[in-house]
Structure 1
């Protein structure tokens, strides 16, 4: 088996993966900020790292996967400006900030379960690690890389850059970064334009604040990840991941403050997922083309022609390399839906095959060789920076072979017993264990499908008789059980589990 190579954003090259401690991997991924529903870009990142987590375990590594929950109510702007999103949301909904946190944390976990993501081994919260963040800020001040102004602590970027390149992650010089920032106004208390807050003085009305050596306040955006990753993975660990939008500011500042505190580069391999687009345009709320996971599952969005099951969306994401832009469209999602169905049908056919050969004389040597090459290509592709798209390409090349063996167009003895067993094993391992897919039509779901189709037919007959009371009752009762019916444009009815 080939060596695992990963693309390191820090060096901008593919490198042979060598963990700090043989056999063990420490991985940290920036988790959600839980003041609203998790958006689809986050989901792509978490699904990508779920695959990476699963594959590292498949390779035999013991993985400590840490994914944080941001719940400290800090300000998320690059300069720590703007509204406190937790306080704003809490006031709008007349709730305590931690009620907002609980609500959206539970919602996030539900979405991750629907996508069949494995839970991380540790999921720390920012509010649960205030003392660690304060201690880290104190150490950075003591080391000479931060200063206090009226209860707020700022990181001194220009001083740090004299010793270590601040823009190392994005390969940008300090002069270039300074050109892209505004001039300091007379009211700005920071020394430098790029300086960022490690600890922020809280206004009296701020709902989430804690005592510190500098007065009542709350942590800046960036310090929490450095403090929690340092606590659970050490001052230097193997993999740090997140969306590429975090690289220029959040991850750049993480490197600087960790280096300033611990005098060591915190992470060996930086991995970043690429952005999502919709019909070629960048996904955003302001453009009106941003939709949430539950809207995908219910089809309740003007840009969606129908509902798409969570496994269809997960499979769709696996068809593109995690570092490539992923474009959402109805055509692409429907193609993924058909492709996944085709793959499950082939898997079912594969499992029904029982070898009956008596020797090697009937083996098609060319087919045998090509089948083995395609199977071995699963691991080779994943070892090439977790290239799920290439694995799926190999799987689909094997689908007609599997189907031909099942329907008798190819004799089962065309390949050896060992190759058939390897094919069955690898398909199962990759579909379930590594790709994390679930066959949504198997087992109880088949029974559910039958019951729902019966209810859909009864509802259709009620509507034709203008018995809208019965029709609405069926729809509403199912919705109360978490099952959403949607009347499609072609007259059919689709359903999804909310």
Structure 2
């Protein structure tokens, strides 16, 4: 019997604005789609936080025994600047600035995206489709929307007719926006576009002569609208209706709103049962912005090479820090917050590593089965990772009391405690068993290797005084260099 038959999950559904009991369309299967990155630059830490929340959700659903098909796309075309219908494709713009092919931009930043997620110990999604790999599906979807009377062609472009759609459907159902208010708040721009109304959005754009990324279609050589790709890929792999669609809060309008409208217009069905939105990440109480320097790249957390943090942090420490906030709450990324999380993380790991040395006794002074269910209850309540972590620290306190001799545990309870804490910390939260000593050793090795490299350069430049100084000062610190035919190694004995 699967665990999900004993655990009832409640999910906050953005569509209804309330927590609802999760009932998948197919009993033991879950279809989940999450909007992935637009690969024109290094992945933003705020996006990493969103993807991390859904990685945790994916892990928990799998742990409960669901067969999860998790689809997370790569946007490698059609995403115009400022999420507009006019202007330049973000990837094409980067390609023009760097004088390389757009697909070189895509490859470079897709690799960076995967490298960063691997360091944070993400599970790969079941399917990772690209927008450029699904142009045909997008064209077919546009044909369906035109045939059903919800889109119009003009000068080689195709636009979704929001006003026509709103006559029989509710545009704004997800973001709780009213079309009348949207009309009132839209500025009229001279020669804005070929659109009938400013609220209409592009399904297909005719490419200007200078536009590099283009594909043939029945309407023109052009490219698909950004909103369309997610509708095409989610429904291709998960069906016309599926269980969960996730993304950042900033995607609710217009991106996710448009996805609902496109699916209703093409297939006559609302595509998703549970819409989930992760909240934003701020830094030092303010919005992250490169222009003000209030900004950090994920890689800079691991190297410490950023003025906003005092040192380098292990990926698992940063992951632990982010999961200490609920995915629907704003998280303020600060150096003090990371430092506090680092202490908590190592307390947790140290307690887990103590479990192997604990000797059971005839009685338990802690109700392990009740504690175990509290851990499940936290995750079942809209994936409440901060409450789960608070429960894990109850166990940490108990483990330390057993070690001190002020508490005891039976063999059966010890086995349950071990299995449960390992499952929640490593399998569900996705943390890694990094001890403080091994993390410090890794950092020491990196620093010494750098000094060895500098010493080699000094010797190559015949600066033997500097070479000897590096060797002697390392020796004074208890680090001894050994030159051999295979290069230089070091010992700390």
The residue that corresponds to 2:108 in the other structure is 103
Question: Is 2:427 the counterpart of 1:428?
Answer: no
The residue that corresponds to 1:180 in the other structure is 185
Cα distance 1:49–1:338, how it changes in 2: closer, same or farther (>3 A)? same
CA RMSD of aligned residues (A): 2.6
Deviations 1:376-406 (A, max 9, x none): 2110000000001001001112212101212
SS for the counterpart of 1:11 is coil
Cα distance 1:470–1:36, how it changes in 2: closer, same or farther (>3 A)? farther
Contact 1:29 1:241 in 2 (8 A): yes
Q: From 96, 102, 121, give the equivalent of 1:91.
A: 96
Q: From 385, 390, 395, give the equivalent of 1:388.
A: 385
Cα distance, 1:171 vs structure 2: 1.2
Cα distance, 1:205 vs structure 2: 1.4
Deviations 1:180-207 (A, max 9, x none): 2112534531111210000000011111
> Equivalents in 2 of 1:265, 1:95: separation in Å?
41
Cα distance 1:275–1:70, how it changes in 2: closer, same or farther (>3 A)? same
Question: Is 2:154 the counterpart of 1:149?
Answer: yes
Cα distance 1:459–1:83, how it changes in 2: closer, same or farther (>3 A)? closer
How many residues in Structure 1 have an aligned counterpart in Structure 2?
A: 462
Q: From 382, 399, 403, give the equivalent of 1:402.
A: 399
> Equivalents in 2 of 1:396, 1:459: separation in Å?
43
> Equivalents in 2 of 1:468, 1:321: separation in Å?
51
Larger mean CA deviation between 281-290 and 315-324 belongs to 281-290
The residue that corresponds to 2:284 in the other structure is 279
Cα distance 1:428–1:308, how it changes in 2: closer, same or farther (>3 A)? same
Query: Following superposition of structure 1 onto structure 2, how do residues 244-259 of structure 1 map, counting pairs within 5 Å?
Result: 244-259=249-264
Query: Following superposition of structure 1 onto structure 2, how do residues 12-411 of structure 1 map, counting pairs within 5 Å?
Result: 12-183=17-188, 185-355=190-360, 357=361, 359=362, 363=363, 367-369=365-367, 371-410=368-407
Query: Following superposition of structure 1 onto structure 2, how do residues 453-492 of structure 1 map, counting pairs within 5 Å?
Result: 467=466
Cα distance, 1:350 vs structure 2: 1.6
**TM-score normalised by length of structure 2:** 0.88
Cα distance 1:424–1:193, how it changes in 2: closer, same or farther (>3 A)? same
Cα distance, 1:132 vs structure 2: 0.3
> Equivalents in 2 of 1:313, 1:110: separation in Å?
16
Larger mean CA deviation between 448-457 and 26-35 belongs to 448-457
> Equivalents in 1 of 2:359, 2:443: separation in Å?
29
Give the gaps of 5 or more residues in structure 1.
476-498
Cα distance, 1:163 vs structure 2: 1.0
Cα distance, 1:372 vs structure 2: 3.5
Contact 1:79 1:197 in 2 (8 A): no
Give the gaps of 5 or more residues in structure 2.
1-5, 459-463, 475-493
> Equivalents in 2 of 1:466, 1:294: separation in Å?
35
The residue that corresponds to 1:478 in the other structure is none
Cα distance, 1:446 vs structure 2: 8.1
**TM-score normalised by length of structure 1:** 0.87
> Equivalents in 2 of 1:443, 1:142: separation in Å?
65
Contact 2:314 2:439 in 1 (8 A): no
Cα distance 1:455–1:69, how it changes in 2: closer, same or farther (>3 A)? closer
The residue that corresponds to 2:434 in the other structure is 440
Contact 1:74 1:218 in 2 (8 A): no
Contact 1:459 1:470 in 2 (8 A): no
SS for the counterpart of 2:82 is coil
> Equivalents in 1 of 2:88, 2:336: separation in Å?
39
Cα distance, 1:86 vs structure 2: 1.5
Cα distance, 1:135 vs structure 2: 0.5
The residue that corresponds to 1:485 in the other structure is none
Deviations 1:302-332 (A, max 9, x none): 2121112211110001100000000011100
> Equivalents in 2 of 1:139, 1:442: separation in Å?
58
Cα distance 1:447–1:335, how it changes in 2: closer, same or farther (>3 A)? closer
Cα distance 1:268–1:452, how it changes in 2: closer, same or farther (>3 A)? same
> Equivalents in 1 of 2:468, 2:23: separation in Å?
64
Cα distance 1:213–1:444, how it changes in 2: closer, same or farther (>3 A)? same
Cα distance, 1:162 vs structure 2: 1.3
Cα distance, 1:261 vs structure 2: 0.4
